[in-house]
Structure 1
């Protein structure tokens, strides 16, 4: 693996944020907290994608987001270094995320959900509407949306193997252009800058439970789209222009069904657009959140 762009990360970066744990429902949850407290904006909580852990967040994205606010990343139960068992449905994952936020004593947050994390973020907005100030939905899709239930053969192979090779990850998350592949290797180098106290890879049991949750969420049911009208928080929906996992058209569907939602589509990018353009996306999020 090339070390391109690793020099952009220094020892003050969120890449080296200490691991923290908190008991939630009798099992420890691993999380990290970076940035600084603000008197004007609430903490920003980030929820990760299928099989991802704390070390999958791009340090450049976190550093950009944490320039003037408190940023919290977390492994839900059964993910990475957290204890407990991974739920096999989004509703229970949502309760788990809310329990974590409550355990930290937070009464208002901004929330960014990526992919599966975006499914959970939508549910939090619906069942705890007064908890969220603003919402960012990245590379995700509404429940029951078209073409979610059965991934293509390529996406299934890249996403669910017992071991995810770098080339599989790049094919799933990044565009196939020369620039996209270069940015992919730079991302992988940045996320491996941290060598001490890395977050363990999620288990195969976690993979299987999360996959079941994703497939259940994706069972086609157009009536589920009506639920989105209840999301009244200011919302930013973002994706790459060629997401082959959640499909870019479903981000457009989200924006159409959440009143007043902003939509931003990034060119020459796929499901992992926020890793391909971490600083640009981070700046756009900060602008949206009012930082």
Structure 2
């Protein structure tokens, strides 16, 4: 993990492999670690760059409010500081909102875009399921139990019960560097206020809309809605997975990305 000054803060990032830069942007509460199951395979084809958003991990723990435009400026600042003029960009969940703002603000920086488990924001999307919303907003109670509930609802139904090794790995990560409640809330609010529906037609690069079949956080009915707002969009649904499909089925995620990016 390295650190670099970007957009008046410090961002911690990792870089692996050579060739075309491939930037990954994470969702609420996760840092670069979220992509660790994908990096070994993808770094054989690309220069894979992952980083901690502000408020998370080893990046600056600055107070909010945050916006998706601000977080996109962080990502642009990282690419600028690394001397990268054009990259493939993958954004997951909140990271998908950030990736949209990055492509809108700095179109030359984004040559291909993957919007994973995300929406356009605004009033016309298929909303988060009630069970997932409760986990996102109800932060009372035992911290360990909160994390367990969050993992269970982020995966496909039944996955947590049949994959205790993956749950243990996620728990260990969450407990090793917990996000401060105020910074978690700042990220959640940035996502809640995001609305790019009327602007997405301005993104002219090729886009792949990538969803898990059983996503309860960003229901997959949003895939067609999102693709319909973009001039050059395709849709890929990864079967038997939920919201965090890069963790649930990394092999299928890598294949979906290669199918689009290569």
Number of the residue aligned with 1:29: 11
**Equivalent residue number for residue 164 of structure 2:** 185
Answering whether residue 185 of structure 2 is matched by residue 203 of structure 1, we say: no
Q: CA RMSD in A?
A: 2.5
- Once the two structures are superposed, residues 111-149 of structure 1 have per-residue CA deviations (whole angstroms, 9 ceiling, x without a partner) of 000000000101111111111111111100002153577
C-alpha separation in 2, matches of 1:257 and 1:30 = 33
Q: CA deviation at 1:214?
A: 1.6
> Are the aligned partners of 1:184 and 1:275 in contact in 2 as well (CA < 8 Å)?
no
Q: How does 1:204-219 map to 2 (within 5 A)?
A: 204-217=181-194
Structure 1 position 26, deviation (Å): 4.0
Q: Secondary structure at the match of 1:134?
A: strand
Cα 1:268–1:100, aligned 2, differ >3 Å: closer, same or farther? Answer: same
Q: Is the 8 A contact 1:129 1:231 kept in 2?
A: yes
- Alignment match, 1:253: 225
The equivalent of 2:34 in structure 1 is: 56
Q: Aligned runs of 1:112-131 on 2, under 5 Å?
A: 112-131=90-109
Is the Cα contact below 8 Å between 2:2 and 2:14 reproduced in 1?
Answer: yes
Q: Aligned runs of 1:131-150 on 2, under 5 Å?
A: 131-146=109-124
Q: Distance in 1 between matches of 2:194 and 2:80?
A: 25
| 1:41-190 to 2 correspondences below 5 Å | 42-57=20-35, 59-85=36-62, 86-146=64-124, 151-160=128-137, 161=139, 163=143, 165=145, 166-177=147-158, 180-181=159-160, 184-189=163-168
1:231 aligns with 2:203: yes
Q: Which runs of 5+ in 2 are unaligned?
A: none
For 2:84 and 2:162, locate their aligned partners in 1 and report how far apart those are by CA, in whole Å.
Answer: 35
After TM superposition, give the deviation of residue 92 of structure 1 in Å: 1.2
Q: Deviations over 1:210-261 (max 9, x none)?
A: 111122126xxxxx53322111111111111222212212222111221231
SS of residue paired to 1:259: coil
Distance in 1 between residues matched to 2:164 and 2:203, nearest whole Å = 37
Match of 1:16 in 2: none
Deviation, structure 1 residue 71: 0.5
Instruction: Measure the CA separation in 2 of the matches of 1:144 and 1:235.
Output: 20
Q: Which has the higher contact order (CA 8 A, sep 6+)?
A: 1
Do the aligned residues in 1 keep the contact of 2:119 with 2:222 (CA within 8 Å)?
Answer: yes
Q: 1:279 to 1:77 in 2, by over 3 A?
A: same
Structure 1 residues not aligned, in runs of 5+ = 1-18, 219-223
> SS where residue 207 of structure 1 aligns?
helix
